[in-house]
A and B are shown apart, each in its own frame.
Chain A
Amino acid sequence: MAVLELNQVTKSFGEGHKKVEAMKETEFKAEKGELIAVIGPSGSGKSTFLTVAGGLQTPTSGEVIINNQNITKLAEKKRSNIRLQEIGFILQSSNLVPFLTVDNQMRLLDKVKKGNMTKEELEQLYNDLGIYDLKQKYPSDLSGGERQRVAIAKSLYSNPSILLADEPTASLDSDRAYEVMELLQTETKNKNTTTIVVTHDTRLIDYCDKVFKMTDGVLALQ
């Protein structure tokens, strides 16, 4: 049974001659326990695919189905709740609340939803990502790579059934990048969740079960 399903989804921006078809008609299915990579050149529509799949923007046509629920026509309030309960995002740009310490970024999630990681699991996660000592720091006091690892921690902390990560390793050195991919792999397998990772780094796709390539808005299985 598919956890995430895209049926005939398209997404275009603008009107007339300025119109950009960021996603041409796309069929996509992801199962539980799958770690999927999406690769492709810059501007090909990878981020668009990820945000449409996660309910952050509505497709121009077609439907997105998450855990058997068609979210395309849902009101923003309901979609927001699905994002909270089911989906973990690591976006390409900012992911952290500037006035919260690393620890409080996690605690914010405790305030708004249940079923997050236990204290021990969180400590383990901090250790795996090498950010244990940064717990009390504010995002502005972290390096780009550290911020990215905190964002990864935050997205995993809520135990999402679907994790959507847009270049989560972009500002990490390659050793760190491999470690992060390993972490995502074990999380996906152990918790039987679904992870989709957008990446430029073709060496990372070895960790993945499936690889899709995005070219000019067309998604194709490699």
Chain B
Amino acid sequence: MFLAWNEIKKNKLRFVLITGVLMLVSYLVFFLSGLANGLESLNREAVDKWDATGIVLTEESDKSMPQSSMTIEDADAIDANEIAVIGQLNAVATSAENKANVAIFGIEEDSFIMPEVTEGESFSNENEVIASDTLLEEGFKLGDELELSSTDEVLKIVGFTESARFNAAPVLYGDLSTFQRVKFGEAAGENENQINAAVIRTDDLSKVTIDDNFELIETETFIENLPGYTEQSLTLTFMIYFLFVISSVIVAIFLYVLTVQKISMFGVMKAQGISNRYLANSVVAQTFILAAIGVVVGFGLTLLTGAFLPAAVPVAFDLVTMMIYGLVLIAVAIVGAVFSVWTIVKIDPLKAIGG
């Protein structure tokens, strides 16, 4: 630390530059991780709220809820601790100038997927819905009458709930009959048993028995099969991993250039009898100091940017993930330093000083 720190003090500009690069890389990593996280919750937060173990869809739906169609009797035949039926359809909701893509969920009020109302009250009459509070930010209010793209039915927002987006669309939770009126119009009466899926909460998913025509999948599998979800998160994850490699290479190159510049200085110390181990430790300590400062500043900058970002940008910072990525960044920087350590070990003191 003694050498590492004294050198940083003497050559501030040089080390500010390296730290700056590390800071930018970590800023990018943190931001991408926030974006990945935000995009994920955009797709899944409603499902996460259910706290469900699995979901039953029809075999032919290919794990897609809108494509799945069953009856309440089908759901009742499933043998599991808790079952919640759900009907789903997507629509465009309009109220005055406000327009939004929404997912309408028809549920039973006493089931476990019933959302917690954070503002207003629960649905009790026909065509009343609880809406995702993201609609608040888009200008919708309690009491708004929503015209829908696919039907003449008009829905009324009576309450709001938190974290209720599904596959990028804010969710409107309503009674099953409300859902059926929206979906089937005139024919709602004949279809009063029609739902899309059954959500299951149980201790052991493997013990749940279902009919041949149906498919039971874990909640996580269901989420991964939401359109675009896996593609998005894989892309961002890959970018983050590439950034790890890139930052390791950048640090390696930077430190190598610095080390080569300092060969004669290392020669002086080696001639004096200072061990390779001490010099190597000092380079690693130095890298650690620089990387740690870079990552911490990057971290702060990310949070600061996050605070000023418009609500439309789907970033959501998960501190634990960021912490892990930060540590990984420091670790890969140190891997980059190994290259320089090797150079130092090879220095012949006498040749290095040219004495």
Q: Could you tell me which A residues sit within 8 Å of B by CB distance?
A: 47, 51, 56-57, 77, 80-85, 87, 89, 91-100, 104, 107-109, 111-113, 138, 166
Contacts and interface: CB of A to CB of B under 8 A. Distances in A.
A109 B350 CA distance: 19
B228 interface: no
B350 A56 contact: yes
A87 B271 CA distance: 10
A116 to B, nearest CB: 12
A99 B350 contact: no
Interface in B228-277: 264-265, 268-276
A84 B350 contact: no
8 closest A-B pairs (Cβ-Cβ)?
A84-B273, A83-B273, A99-B10, A93-B355, A91-B355, A99-B7, A56-B350, A80-B273
Nearest to B349: A56
Nearest to A155: B272
B271 A108 contact: no
Given A77-B275, A94-B268, 7 more contacts: A57-B350, A83-B273, A91-B353, A99-B265, A111-B278, A112-B274, A112-B278
B2 interface: yes
Contacts of A113: 273
A82 B355 contact: no
B136 interface: no
A117 to B, nearest CB: 15
A18 B3 CA distance: 41
Given A93-B353, A94-B264, A97-B265, A107 B272 contact: no
B6 interface: yes
Contact of A80 (B6, B264, B265, B270): B270
Contacts of A96: 268
B2 A51 contact: no
A47 B272 CA distance: 16
B350 A89 contact: no
Contacts of B268: 94-97
A108 B6 CA distance: 10
Contacts of B349: 56
Given A99-B11, A166-B355, A91 B271 contact: yes
Nearest to B11: A99
A113 B273 CA distance: 10
B354 interface: yes
Given A77-B276, A94-B264, A97-B265, A89 B271 contact: yes
A21 B5 CA distance: 44
A104 B3 CA distance: 9
A47 B276 contact: no
A84 B272 contact: yes
Nearest to B353: A93
Contact of B275 (A56, A81, A94): A81
Nearest to A47: B355
User: Max chain A CB contacts within 10 Å: which of B9, B11, B265, B272?
Assistant: B272
A219 to B, nearest CB: 19
A113 to B, nearest CB: 8
Contacts of A51: 350, 355
Given A96-B268, A98-B265, A107-B2, A112 B275 contact: yes
B6 A99 contact: yes
A92 B349 CA distance: 13
Contact of B273 (A87, A91, A107): A87
A80 B270 CA distance: 7
B353 A94 contact: yes
Nearest to B348: A57
Contacts of A93: 353-355
Contacts of A80: 270, 273-276
16 contacts: A47-B355, A51-B350, A56-B350, A80-B274, A83-B272, A83-B273, A84-B272, A84-B274, A89-B271, A91-B353, A97-B265, A99-B9, A99-B265, A109-B272, A112-B274, A166-B355
Contacts of A100: 3, 6, 10
A76 B268 CA distance: 15
A97 B269 contact: yes
B2 A108 contact: yes
A103 to B, nearest CB: 11
Given A93-B355, A99-B11, A112-B278, A82 B273 contact: yes
A138 B7 CA distance: 11
Interface string B165-180: 0000000000000000
Contacts of A109: 272
A159 B2 CA distance: 22
A111 B2 contact: yes
B272 A89 contact: yes
Contacts of B270: 80
Contacts of B274: 80, 84, 108, 112
A92 B271 CA distance: 12
Nearest to B10: A99
